[in-house]
Amino acid sequence: MTTASPDPENTPTRHVPVLLAEVLEQLGPRDGETYIDGTFGAGGYTRAILEAADCRVIAIERDPTAFAAGQALVEEFGGRLILVPTTFSNMADAAERAACETVDGVVLDIGVSSMQLDDAERGFSFLRDGPLDMRMSQDGLSAADVVNTAEEGELADILYQLGEERRSRAIARTIVKARSDAPIKTTRALAAIVERVLGRPRPGDKHPATRTFQALRIHVNDELGELAAALTAAERLLKPGGRLAVVTFHSLEDALVKRFFNARSGKQAGGSRYLPEPTAPRRDSSFRIVNTRGVTPNKKETDANPRARSARLRVGLRTEAPAWREGADP
């Protein structure tokens, strides 16, 4: 993955891994070690890790287009890179396919890549007219399917819960009315519907459809569910002393990661439907938080790459305590 702000700019951005130097510093790649890049994208983190040490990377990519493009990097690094076509929630299976029981570090860069945002045919951005798709894996229900078939109440809940859209009910009502005349098939058509409710954007302001598109993308790809599953999978795979580095791009993702590290470090319980409240006595801490406030990009990086401005890196150090039982605790 790469830059993936919920407020993409009008100008296409070249593929630049966000907080790359900071991620490398935290992972500290060493010869002979094994790392997982759970969000391969264009391979920016993977390449940097492989160039930093004579190590091995198991990279995961759910997007068939990105997976195909990544074969060149597999050939370049030979047996040191194993690229697996799956979701990062299936991290354990990917490691098993690579004949690996434990790893020394995991990096996750959560969000949409610049390649996906800038490809109109993928339907992620309202700035480029294309099919209303948004599927990272290019299978399952598309955003158009959701917009044209979901009940009004369900649509409103999606927009409010996953996009933090305060006018969710009015937007859902307008969508349902519009689709009764004709199916909503394109990104521009949906953006225009949102504009009817919220008005056209003024110069310099976020587009009013930003939160709606974010919510639909998260829903279609089950991004928060995938993230929660990936965090617990990383906990089980990491060796004592191994590090989990997670780069997020909006508040819902960051809050989920923060709750996970807080719970696993003994600071507080979960409090999320993705990371439910514990039902058993408090366990030994399986992580130690490395950076309590998280790391954000410096001005030089955000000036060069505006999509990086909402990024935040959180890192946890795996302790010797056993992984918490899946499903019972956060």
**What does the pLDDT read at residue 234?**
97
Asked whether 179 and 188 are in contact (CB, 8 A), the reply is no
Give the pLDDT score at 254.
Answer: 95
pTM: 0.86
Residue 129's pLDDT is 84
Pairing of strands 238-248, 312-318: antiparallel
Whether the CB-CB separation of 80 and 55 falls below 8 Å is answered with yes
How many H-runs (helices) and E-runs (strands) does the chain carry? 14, 7
Which of the 8 DSSP states describes residue 244?
E
Amino acid 55: pLDDT: 98
159 vs 171: CA distance, rounded Å? 9
Find out whether 107 and 257 touch, Cβ atoms under 8 Å: no
pLDDT confidence of residue 280: 53
User: Which residues does the chain have with pLDDT short of 50?
Assistant: 1-14, 123, 270, 328-330
Task: Tell the burial category of 121 from Cβ atoms under 10 Å away from its Cβ (0-12, 13-18, 19+).
Answer: exposed
